[in-house]
Structure 1
Amino acid sequence: MKLTTPALLDRDLSILSFNARVLSLAQREDYPLLERLRFLCIVSNNLDEFFEVRMPLQMEAYQQGVTSGPVTATTFERVAEMAQALVAQQYQLFNDALMPALAKERVHLVSGNVRTAEQTTWVANYFKREVLPFLMPVSLDPSHPFPQVANKSLNFIVRIAVGGEEKIAIVRAPRVVPRLVQLPPSISKGEQCFVSLTSVIRANLEVLFQGATILHFSQFRVTRNSDLEVDEDDVINLRTALREELAHRQYGEAVRLEVTQECDDRLAEFLLKQFNLPPLALYRVNGPVNLGRLIQLPDMAKGDHLKFVPFQPHWPQHIKRNTALLAQMREKDLLIHQPYESFEVVIQLLEEAVKDEQVLAIRMTIYRTGADPRMLRLLQEAVRRGKEVLVVVELKARFDEEANINWAEALESVGAQVVYGVVGLKTHAKMLLIMRREGKVIHRYGHLSTGNYNPKTTRLYTDWSMLTADAHLTREMETVFRHLTSELPIPALKHLLVAPFTLQHSMIKQLEKAQRLAKQGKPARVIAKMNALTDVPLVTALMKAASAGVEIDLIVRGACILPVDLPALKGRIRVRSIVGRLLEHSRVFYFELDGQVSMWLSSADWMSRNMMRRVELAWPIKQPAMQSRIYQESLQLYLQDNTDAWQLAENGQYVPVAQQVSDAAPVACQSLLLQQYHSM
C-alpha cells in the first residue's frame, strides 16, 4: 500500500467534533439535569481554549489569504462554520431543553422580564450596593478612546443619546463581583432562583446612564490569542520572563467576538472594526454571553436527584492501609486505577517519605497540581527535615503558568532545588522518585503515572498510577531526572521510553514489527488508548500496519486525524471515542504479536508535540496479572462499550455505537467500573 500523502482528517475539525460529543452528554435524558448543564458549560470552556490556542493560526491564514498547506483561508471558513453550528446547538439546548426542564424542578435563572416586583426591587438594590460602585462607563470620543478589553471579559456596548447627540459607551463588568447570585428564599416562593451579573447590569443600565437615553445595547466578549511566547534562549530566568509575559496574555490578538443575538448591525460592525476581525469571527448568541460562567449553578443549586450520585474513590483493596507503602513496594509493584481507586495512596507515599528518617532525597515533576496545597507543604516539610528535594516544575503548562510559578517560588523559599526542565521542551512526564538508605545501600522507590499530581482531577479523570521499587525502572528514572537538571544527553535506556528521544521511534518499530509478522501470515494485534492521535509518522505507521493485515483498535478520546475509509485498510483500523461522566485520560499501548504481549503505560498522547517537543515517559508493564487487569479495565471493556462509545465512520463523522446496536444489552465501561469498585 502506498501511503506517501494520505488524506488525513483535519485536526481542528476533529477537536470540534469531540466537543460535539461532549455536548451530546447535555442531551442525555438518562443524566441528571444539573449534570447536563455542567457538560453544556464544559463545552463553552473547551471552546474558549480552542479559540485561544488553535484559532489564531487559522485566523492568520484567513487574513493573509493562504491557499496551500494544512491551514488555509478555506480551512478557517470550515472551522468557523462548524464552530458557529456548535454554538447555535448549545444555545438551542440551553433555551429549549435545559432551562425549561430545570424550571419544572423549581430551579430558575430569572431574567428581568419574569421577575416579580419583590425580585426586581431586590436586584435593583443589589445593583446599587454591590455592582454600581465598580462600574465606570467610558463614552467614546477623542479624549476617551476605545478601552483595552481583556481576554474573555464581560462587557456592554451601549448606544446612547445625550442632548440630541448619539454616543457609544463601553461598560466593563467587574471581575470582583460574583457572576451568579441566588435570590433570598423570602422572595423565591419556595423555589431556587438565581440571577446572573449580566442580567443585573442589563436591568439597571438606566441608573448608570442617568441623563441619557439608551438607544441600544448588547453584551460582548472578545477571545484573544493566549499562547505565551518566550524565547528561552534569550532569557536569563525563565520564571521571571514568564511572569512578565503573563501580564500581556490578556491582550493578545483577537480571534472571536461574541455578542447577543439582538445586537444591531451598527454596533457589531463597530466592534469587529475595533478588534480587527472579519465577519466570520462574529458569534451572535441567543442567551447569556459565556455559558461557561453558569458552571457554578450545578454546585450552588440543591437537589440530589439533579446530580450524579457522589462517588468516593476507594483505597485499593490490594494495598494494606496500615502497612508502610515503601515496605509493600519492596514486595511487589502496586497499581492504582484512578478515580475508581484513591489518589490518596500517592499523597500518603509522599508523606511517608517525608517522615522517614532514612529517606535522603525526593525528586518530583510538576505539570498541573490544582489548588490542593498538601503536596507542596509535604515537599517544603521534606526540605525542613534536611532531605534533598529536587522539583522539576514545568512553568509553561498552558493556563497553569501562574500557579506553577507560585509553586516554584514557594519551594525555592525554603531551599528546595527547583529547575524548569530542558530548554525548548515541556516536561510532561509524571514521576516521583524516593531515595532511601537501607543499611549500606541506597534503594530507590518510584511513582509513575499517566495523569497529573492534581488531587482534584484525580477524582474526575481516568488514569493509571504505578508504585514500584523495581531497580531497573527507578535507576532509569534517576537518569531522566539527571537529564532534566543537567540537559546532558540521555544514555540508551533498556526499559523506559523517553520522548523526544526514543518513544516515537519505539512505537513505530513495534508497528513495523507487527506489519512484518502480518505479511508472514502470523497474528498481529494492536490496541492503543490515548487522548489524541495527530502525529503523522505514527498515523502513517498505523495505516501501513493495517494494510499489511494487522488488526488495530484505537480508543481516542479527542482529536484524531487518521482516516478509516482508505480501501487498502480493509476495515482493519477501528477508531472509537469514549465520552461519559469521567474524562478519559489514561494512555495504554498494547501489542500482541505472534502470541507475545507487550504493554506500556504513558504520559504521552500520539501527538507531534508529545513525541518531539515534550519530555514524556512510557514504562513497560511486564507482570501478567497487571497486564490482564489493565487490558480488561482499559481496553477490553472499552471496546465492548455500546453506551458512551462513538465510532469513527468512513465519512469522517462520529456515530454513536448505541445507534448501531440498539437491540444489544447496554454496556457502559465507566458505569460498570464505578459499580465494580463501589461494591468492593
Structure 2
Amino acid sequence: MQPLDHKSHFINRELSWLAFNERVASEAINTANPLFERLKFMAICASNLDEFFMVRVAGLKDQLKLGMDRRDDKTQMSAGQQLLEISKRVHTDVERLYGTWSRTLLPALRREGIHFLTSKQLNSQQQAYLESYYHEHIFPVLTPLAIDASHPFPMLANRTLNVAVLLQPLESHSEVDPPLFAVVQVPSVLPRYIEISGAHHKRAFVLLETVIQLFIHALFPGHAVVEQACFRITRNADINVDEEGAEDLLEEIEKELKKRNRGAAVRLEVEQSMSPELVETLRDWLELEHEDVYSILGPLDLTFLMRFAAEPEYAHLRFPPISPQIPRDFIGESNLFDTIAKKDILLFHPYESFDPVVHFVNLAANDPQVLAIKQTLYRVSGNSPIVLALARAAENGKQVTVLVELKARFDEENNIVWAKKLEEAGCHVIYGLVGLKTHSKITLVVRREGDNIVRYVHLSTGNYNDNTAKLYTDIGMFTARADFGEDASLFFNHLTGFADPPAWNQFATAPLGLKQKFLDLIDREIEHCNAGRPGRIIAKMNALTDKDLILALYRASNAGVEIDLLVRGICCLRPGLANVSENIRVSSIVGRFLEHSRIYYFYNGGNEELFLASADWMTRNMVSRVEILFPVLQENLKERLQHVLNLQLADNVNRWLLLPSGRYQKVAQGTGDTPCASQMRFYAEARGAADKTARAVAESMIPRTPPRL
C-alpha cells in the first residue's frame, strides 16, 4: 500500500486553479444564465487568466531564470513541467473560450438585435461615419512608434492592446528591402467599443482596434501597409519588497508599483491573422518560448465585456436585481449597541445588508461615549464609507488605530491612498507585521457605559468593502462577549506593539497556533471514530492547498470520519481514493455570487462546534498571514450555520463534484428532483425572515383597545 504522502494522491495547485476557471467559463455557456450575465462570466474568466499569468506563471518562470526549478511539494512536478502543462491546458481553454464567444454568444447577441461588426461587415455609410469619428476622436490620441536601429522595441505596458504594423515605403526603396516595423498602442483612455447606426433599429458596435486598423494608413503617409494585427503582452506583476531593509514600507511599495507595468513578459496574445514571421519577431523581442504565444480568433482582452454588460436598457438580459435585506435581529431595534449587548448577531451577505457594519463604524465615530476604534483593512472600496467614518472618528477626538494592509495584491495603490488620508485625519495607521500580510477582518469599538468599559466586536470572513459585499457571500458576527472583547484588544496590541503572541480566550490566530488548532480539531474527530463514535467534518473555504492539513484529512478518512469539503477554487486534495480519501467528498459552487465565506464544522461526539475564519486551508494562510479563527457559541447561530452548510451540500443547480481524476462534474438533477440553487434559497430565506420579523414588530406596535372597567 502506498503511503498517504504520495504524489499521486494530490492535485497540482496550478492545474486545480485552471479547473476552477473552467467552471467559471462554463457559466458563460449555461443558457440558464441571462445573456449579459454570461458575458460577465466571460470577462471574469479572462481577467482571472490575466492575474494567473501575472502572478503564478510569472513566479514559475522566475524560478527557471534563477536556476531553481523547485518541485511542487505535493505532486513533485518541477517548475518547467508545470509551465508545460499549464500551456497545454490554457491553449485548450482559450480555444474553448473563444469558441463560446463566436459560436454561442455572438449569435445570441444578434438575436437580441445587438451586433459586433468586423471591418468587412461595415456598409459605406457606417465606414464614412467611422472615418469621421477616427479623425476627430481617435487620430489625435494615437502615437505610432517606429522600430529600427535607432528606435528599439518599446516597453509596452502590461495588458495594453497594440497593433503591429509592417510598412513598405512607396518610393526610394527597393522591393526586396525588408518591411519597416511600427507599433500603435490602442489608447486605454478611449472607449473600447463604439456604437454606430444599425439597420432596422438594431444596435451595432465596432471595437476601437477595428477602427484604428481600418484607417491606420493615415498614421504613415508615404508608406503602404503590408500587414497589421493586434497583440497584447502580459507581464510579471508580482511585487517583491525587502521588508526587513525597508525604512518606509509605504514608500517602497509605491516604488515597486511603478515597476509593475514593466515586468518581464510572460504571455503574448496575437490575432490569428498575424503572419508566422511577425509572431516570431515579437516572440524573439519579448524573449518568450513558443508555448507562451496564444493565437486568438476573436477580440483580444475580453474583459471589456464586463463594461458592455452594464449597458442600459437590457434589464431582461441580466439577473433580476436583489435587494439585501435588513438582518432579522436588527429589525425594530433603535440602538445598535444595545442590540449587540443582548445577543450575538450574524450577518449573511449579500442576502443581508452590509449597512449595519457601516452604521456600526459611523455610530462609533459620532458617539461621545466611544473612546477608541480599532480596525483592520485589507481590501476596501474606491469611495469607502468605512474609511470616511474612521477619519471622522479621529477628527472627533477618538483614539483610532487602523491596520491598512499595503500588500493586498492589486489593491496596493488604493490602500496607499486610503492610508495617507487616514493619517492626515489623525488616525494611527500601521502597515502590518514584517514578512506577513494581515488578512484578518476585525473591528473593535471601546465604549464607556456608566462606570464600565464595554468592548463591541465585529468579526468577518470577508473584507470591509461595501461593493464586494453585494457580490461575495460572506458571514460576519457582532458580539459584546467579554472574552471576545479581551481577545480583540490583545490582538491589536500584538499587532501594534512588541508583545509576544497572547494566550487567547476564544481566538486562534495565524501564523502561530491556527494550523495546530485545525490539526487538533481533525485529530479529535479521529479519536471519536477510534472510540466507536461517529466522526464528521464539514469545511467550507475558498481553497485547500496545505499538505499537512490534507494528510490529516486523509488520516481522518481512513479512521472512518465522514468529510464534506466545500471548496470554491483550488483543491489539491484528491477525493475518493481507496484507502486514502474514500470518505471525503469535495464540492464547488460557482454561481451568481462569489462564494467567499469560511465555515468549519466538527461533530465532536455530538457536542458540535462551529467556527468562522478569515483563513482558507492554504499554507500561505497558516504561515505567512495574520488570520483569525473564532467560534460561534450562540445556539441559534450555530444552527443557522449548519443550515448554510447543509443547503449548499444539497445544491443541484450550481454545485460541482471533484472526481478522483482531478476533473469536476456538474451535479445532475435526478428525475423528479426539485431544483435547489442554494444562493437563491438563501436570498428567499432572508426576505422571508425580514418580512416575518417586520410584521411581528409592526403588530407589536399596534395600540390595543384598553379593557373596559
**TM > 0.5 between the two?**
yes
Alignment correspondent of 1:664: 673
Report the secondary structure of 2:324's partner residue: coil
Alignment correspondent of 2:53: 51
Alignment correspondent of 1:22: 24
- Alpha-carbon distance between aligned partners in 2 of 1:512 and 1:546, rounded to the nearest angstrom: 11
User: 1:31-70 maps to which residues of 2 (within 5 A)?
Assistant: 31-60=33-62, 66=69, 68=71, 69-70=76-77
The CA deviation string for residues 112-133 of structure 1, in whole angstroms up to 9 with x for no partner, is 2222323222222221112111
Alignment correspondent of 1:414: 425
Alignment correspondent of 1:90: 97
Select which of 634, 640, 645 maps to 2:650: 640
Q: Does 1:111 align with 2:118?
A: yes
Select which of 562, 572, 577 maps to 2:583: 572
- C-alpha distance 392-207 of structure 1, shift in aligned 2 (>3 A): same
The CA deviation string for residues 415-452 of structure 1, in whole angstroms up to 9 with x for no partner, is 11000011100000001110111122211101101001
- Alpha-carbon distance between aligned partners in 2 of 1:320 and 1:289, rounded to the nearest angstrom: 49
Normalising by structure 1, report the TM-score: 0.97
- Alpha-carbon distance between aligned partners in 1 of 2:317 and 2:63, rounded to the nearest angstrom: 45
The CA deviation string for residues 381-427 of structure 1, in whole angstroms up to 9 with x for no partner, is 11111111110000000000000000000011121100001110000
- Alpha-carbon distance between aligned partners in 2 of 1:321 and 1:408, rounded to the nearest angstrom: 36
Structure 1 unmatched ranges of 5 or more: none
- Alpha-carbon distance between aligned partners in 1 of 2:514 and 2:582, rounded to the nearest angstrom: 27
Alignment correspondent of 2:487: 476
- Alpha-carbon distance between aligned partners in 2 of 1:570 and 1:243, rounded to the nearest angstrom: 46
The residue type paired with residue 648 of structure 2 is Y
Is the CA contact (8 Å cut-off) linking 2:161 and 2:230 kept in structure 1?
yes
Q: Does 1:170 align with 2:178?
A: no
Select which of 251, 258, 263 maps to 2:269: 258
Is the CA contact (8 Å cut-off) linking 1:180 and 1:296 kept in structure 2?
no
Alignment correspondent of 2:518: 507
User: 1:454-533 maps to which residues of 2 (within 5 A)?
Assistant: 454-533=465-544
Alignment correspondent of 1:128: 135
User: Which one has the largest radius of gyration?
Assistant: 2
- Alpha-carbon distance between aligned partners in 2 of 1:377 and 1:384, rounded to the nearest angstrom: 11
Q: Structure 1 stretch 361-370 or stretch 193-202: which is displaced more?
A: 193-202
Is the CA contact (8 Å cut-off) linking 1:422 and 1:487 kept in structure 2?
no
- Alpha-carbon distance between aligned partners in 1 of 2:124 and 2:485, rounded to the nearest angstrom: 68
The CA deviation string for residues 72-98 of structure 1, in whole angstroms up to 9 with x for no partner, is 322211111111111111100000100
Superposition deviation, residue 188 in structure 1:
5.8
The residue type paired with residue 71 of structure 1 is S
Select which of 133, 146, 153 maps to 1:139: 146
- Alpha-carbon distance between aligned partners in 1 of 2:579 and 2:359, rounded to the nearest angstrom: 52
The CA deviation string for residues 561-601 of structure 1, in whole angstroms up to 9 with x for no partner, is 00114311362000010011110000000000211101100
Superposition deviation, residue 192 in structure 1:
2.4
Is the CA contact (8 Å cut-off) linking 2:42 and 2:305 kept in structure 1?
no
User: 1:203-602 maps to which residues of 2 (within 5 A)?
Assistant: 203-320=214-331, 323-569=334-580, 571-602=582-613
Alignment correspondent of 2:684: 675
Alignment correspondent of 2:160: 153
Superposition deviation, residue 66 in structure 1:
4.1
Is the CA contact (8 Å cut-off) linking 1:579 and 1:644 kept in structure 2?
yes
Superposition deviation, residue 61 in structure 1:
5.2
Report the secondary structure of 2:543's partner residue: coil
- Alpha-carbon distance between aligned partners in 2 of 1:111 and 1:9, rounded to the nearest angstrom: 42
- Alpha-carbon distance between aligned partners in 2 of 1:674 and 1:213, rounded to the nearest angstrom: 60
Q: Structure 1 stretch 368-377 or stretch 551-560: which is displaced more?
A: 368-377
Report the secondary structure of 1:399's partner residue: coil
- Report how many residues are paired: 676
- Alpha-carbon distance between aligned partners in 2 of 1:237 and 1:623, rounded to the nearest angstrom: 44
The CA deviation string for residues 466-502 of structure 1, in whole angstroms up to 9 with x for no partner, is 1111110111011111111114221111200111111
Q: Structure 1 stretch 198-207 or stretch 564-573: which is displaced more?
A: 564-573
Superposition deviation, residue 194 in structure 1:
2.2
- Alpha-carbon distance between aligned partners in 1 of 2:333 and 2:458, rounded to the nearest angstrom: 19
Select which of 647, 650, 661 maps to 2:660: 650
Is the CA contact (8 Å cut-off) linking 1:58 and 1:71 kept in structure 2?
no
Superposition deviation, residue 318 in structure 1:
1.8
Is the CA contact (8 Å cut-off) linking 2:166 and 2:181 kept in structure 1?
yes
The residue type paired with residue 643 of structure 1 is V
Is the CA contact (8 Å cut-off) linking 2:4 and 2:580 kept in structure 1?
no
- C-alpha distance 67-631 of structure 1, shift in aligned 2 (>3 A): closer
Q: Structure 1 stretch 38-47 or stretch 5-14: which is displaced more?
A: 5-14
Superposition deviation, residue 674 in structure 1:
2.2
Is the CA contact (8 Å cut-off) linking 1:364 and 1:433 kept in structure 2?
yes
- Alpha-carbon distance between aligned partners in 2 of 1:669 and 1:176, rounded to the nearest angstrom: 40
Superposition deviation, residue 677 in structure 1:
2.4
Report the secondary structure of 1:410's partner residue: helix
Is the CA contact (8 Å cut-off) linking 1:139 and 1:168 kept in structure 2?
yes
Q: Structure 1 stretch 194-203 or stretch 328-337: which is displaced more?
A: 194-203
- Alpha-carbon distance between aligned partners in 2 of 1:351 and 1:314, rounded to the nearest angstrom: 20
The CA deviation string for residues 213-249 of structure 1, in whole angstroms up to 9 with x for no partner, is 1111111111111110100011111001101110001
The CA deviation string for residues 585-639 of structure 1, in whole angstroms up to 9 with x for no partner, is 0000000021110110001000011111000011101111101111102x10011
- Alpha-carbon distance between aligned partners in 1 of 2:127 and 2:333, rounded to the nearest angstrom: 58
Report the secondary structure of 1:547's partner residue: helix
- Alpha-carbon distance between aligned partners in 2 of 1:74 and 1:354, rounded to the nearest angstrom: 54
The residue type paired with residue 44 of structure 1 is A
The residue type paired with residue 233 of structure 1 is E
- Alpha-carbon distance between aligned partners in 2 of 1:54 and 1:645, rounded to the nearest angstrom: 26
The residue type paired with residue 310 of structure 1 is P
The CA deviation string for residues 525-548 of structure 1, in whole angstroms up to 9 with x for no partner, is 000000000011111111111111
Q: Structure 1 stretch 670-679 or stretch 139-148: which is displaced more?
A: 670-679
The CA deviation string for residues 301-329 of structure 1, in whole angstroms up to 9 with x for no partner, is 52221111011111112213551111101
The residue type paired with residue 136 of structure 1 is T
Identity fraction in percent: 39
Report the secondary structure of 2:189's partner residue: coil
- C-alpha distance 60-229 of structure 1, shift in aligned 2 (>3 A): closer
Normalising by structure 2, report the TM-score: 0.93
Superposition deviation, residue 57 in structure 1:
2.9
- Alpha-carbon distance between aligned partners in 1 of 2:338 and 2:430, rounded to the nearest angstrom: 30
- Alpha-carbon distance between aligned partners in 2 of 1:627 and 1:294, rounded to the nearest angstrom: 41
Structure 2 unmatched ranges of 5 or more: 692-709
The residue type paired with residue 189 of structure 2 is V
Superposition deviation, residue 140 in structure 1:
1.0
